Structure 1
Amino acid sequence: MKKLTEEQFNRAVDFVMTHARPVDQHLFNYYFNSGSKSKVLDSLTHFQNDDGGMGYGLEPDVRSPQSSPIATTIAMQYVRQVKASWRHPLVKKCMKYFTNTYKEHNNWPLTLQHMNDYPHAEWWHYSTFDETFSINPGVEIIGYYHAYPQSIPENLFPLFHDFIFQHIENKPAGIEFHELLCYTRLVEEMPDPGKSIINDYLRNTCRKIVTKDPKKWGGYCAKPIVLAPTPTSPLANVLDDVIQLNLDYEIDNQQIDGSWLPHWTWGQYQDTWENEASVEWQGYITVKTLITLQSYGRIEAF
């Protein structure tokens, strides 16, 4: 079985500690050096606004300082990785933001008008407001209400579940990559029997969505390890054959500087992309890749 060598690992660590954002450095330390979860959470507070939502480029492709549901879901992914308590003020503020945003819009908008006022990737450009429930990021956000049930008004919980199961019952022709990711984050938080129902749905769907061809992994696609970043991920067993190939691929495609690269560009605001966002993504992706390699037993040093 191919493993990341100690020399490769040390190069990755050097890149993270030199170039990654503090939040990603602290997440690395949490996983590899018995680091403190409080440092991860404290570093997230620098991205949090008074309304509880996140901005300031926490999602590196959205540079607006103002809050958005998508940036706040990124924060909650860090929160859940370190298993933060409901008692932490950052968690309470994020969840309050989700509730207030839903009450204002009857939805969690994927894009907001203020995103256009700052450098951003072309796919984050706001055009029109959609009032209908969106799987991305709505399904993921409902998962966080399962993780922190103290945060949700009782009258909204049944409505949120209706959104999820009505979509599954309608059995659409297919969901796309990001929607599948939102569902995987939901099922990691919710209990049975709903968990099993959705898991069955995802298992029947994921083989159609995952990119199986290694020749395509150098571009933006549904990589197996993104859909199942750890052996305990909901889809890990279903995708095991392609996951093992993907792990080999990542080990072979580490950059000389120790990092792993984003496989996309913005198509606009090139200076901001090259000098800010792409480097932030390198740090983020490098930490995520190391965590995944470690969880599958693919680093020699561990």
Structure 2
Amino acid sequence: MNHNISPAASASALERAAAFVWTSGRVLEQRRFELLFGGAPDGSGLAAALAAYRTPDGGYAYGLEPDIRGPEPQPLTAATALAVLQDAGRPDAASVTPVLDWLTTVTTAEGGVPAVLPTLAAYPHPPWLPVTADPAADLLTTGQVLGPALRSGVTHPWIPAAVAFARREVEAMEQTHPYGVQSALMFLDAAPDRAWAAAQADRIGKLLREQRTVLLDPAHPEDAVLAPGYAEGEYHLPHDYAPDPAGLARAWFTDEEMARSLDHLAASQEADGGWPINWAKWSATTEVEARPGVTVKALRVLRAYGRL
């Protein structure tokens, strides 16, 4: 036995992450971790934690999405809520319909929803999240909402127009903004028209590689292009686009490229057991609140690829 190895160093990635989440996570992340990795019998605790962020009109606020503060519900926060409901095993009409009802009230004439509403202006928000008086619909948000909404199987009048909007936006995509591509994939992986989704994913994947919007080798960041306004080091790697091997984006990358990406993700775990955020840090509080969620996300990717 090597007595020079500290208990922290010899613990597994999951054990170290658990210590971090129990030390630093909000109730929401602790409940999510407990359900996904800790053997919680059901999602009732996670659903109860999410309920604290709900607003009377069916939206969600109060920092559920750490970079979006204040008591006014926002579309991006609704997308986060739907993803949590999916994890909690509550993708049913009783839980999903109120969110879609609220989204209907903020949907634009195009059929999609913007990222944030003018109501955010009165509250703290990051400089890269502009608040305008008349925000346009955005695939960035609409795609994130449609993924869990379509997977839920819930029928709702909001969905058809949103799908039509998302299809138009995907087909028009010629510049691969990383977060826009990720949102497109959330929609494409759940889109009802599987042949169309596969064809569009193939097209976007080729654009992504041509435009170098993905860091294929972490040892050579100079080979990738950072989008304007991104933080230093805010690169997107193959696992960011293909967090699950069953997703459409897995075909974009070779086994070697994916292995390098996963190696880099595993090596990014910090000394306290958590994973760092790689986007711009505009508030110490939001960084602290975001890291447990980033950590749970990293664990999910590693487990999906058999790395835990």
Q: Show the counterpart of 2:161.
A: 159
Q: Show the counterpart of 1:195.
A: 194
How many Å apart are 1:289 and its aligned residue? 0.8
2:51 counterpart (35, 45, 48): 45
Post-superposition Cα deviations, 1:145-199, rounded to whole Å, max 9, x if no partner, equal 423454422xx555334323333444x42231112111221133232xx222122
Give the unaligned 5+ runs of structure 2: 1-8, 225-231
Report how many aligned residue pairs link the two structures.
283
| SS of alignment partner, residue 134 of structure 2 | coil
Corresponding letter in the other structure for 2:164: D
TM-score by length of 1: 0.83
- Structure 2 distance, partners of 1:258, 1:17, is 11
| Structure 1 residues 136 and 146, CA gap change in structure 2 (3 angstroms) | same
- Structure 1 distance, partners of 2:31, 2:160, is 37
The answer on whether the counterparts of 1:99 and 1:152 sit within 8 Å (CA) in structure 2 is: no
Corresponding letter in the other structure for 1:294: R
Please list, as runs of the form range in 1=range in 2, the aligned pairs for 1:8-87 lying within 5 A after superposition.
8-35=13-40, 36-87=42-93
- Structure 2 distance, partners of 1:5, 1:248, is 18
| Structure 1 residues 260 and 148, CA gap change in structure 2 (3 angstroms) | closer
Higher relative contact order by CA 8 Å / sep ≥ 6: 1 or 2?
1
Corresponding letter in the other structure for 1:173: E
| SS of alignment partner, residue 63 of structure 1 | coil
- The answer to whether the aligner puts 1:296 opposite 2:305 as a matched pair is yes
Q: Show the counterpart of 2:140.
A: 136
**Structure richer in helix, relative to its length:** 1
2:272 counterpart (248, 253, 257): 257
Q: Show the counterpart of 1:147.
A: 151
How many Å apart are 1:294 and its aligned residue? 1.5
How many Å apart are 1:279 and its aligned residue? 1.0
What is the identity percentage for the equivalent residue pairs of Structure 1 and Structure 2?
Answer: 23
| Structure 1 residues 116 and 168, CA gap change in structure 2 (3 angstroms) | closer
- Structure 2 distance, partners of 1:250, 1:169, is 31
| SS of alignment partner, residue 95 of structure 1 | helix
- The answer to whether the aligner puts 1:119 opposite 2:124 as a matched pair is yes
Corresponding letter in the other structure for 2:50: L
- Structure 2 distance, partners of 1:181, 1:5, is 34
The answer on whether the counterparts of 1:60 and 1:280 sit within 8 Å (CA) in structure 2 is: yes
- Structure 1 distance, partners of 2:176, 2:71, is 30
- Structure 2 distance, partners of 1:109, 1:48, is 19
- The answer to whether the aligner puts 1:286 opposite 2:295 as a matched pair is yes
Post-superposition Cα deviations, 1:73-110, rounded to whole Å, max 9, x if no partner, equal 011122223442314x4323212212222279964121
| SS of alignment partner, residue 57 of structure 2 | coil
| Structure 1 residues 21 and 105, CA gap change in structure 2 (3 angstroms) | farther
| SS of alignment partner, residue 98 of structure 1 | helix
- Structure 2 distance, partners of 1:43, 1:149, is 24
| SS of alignment partner, residue 214 of structure 1 | coil
Give the unaligned 5+ runs of structure 1: 268-272
The answer on whether the counterparts of 1:120 and 1:266 sit within 8 Å (CA) in structure 2 is: no
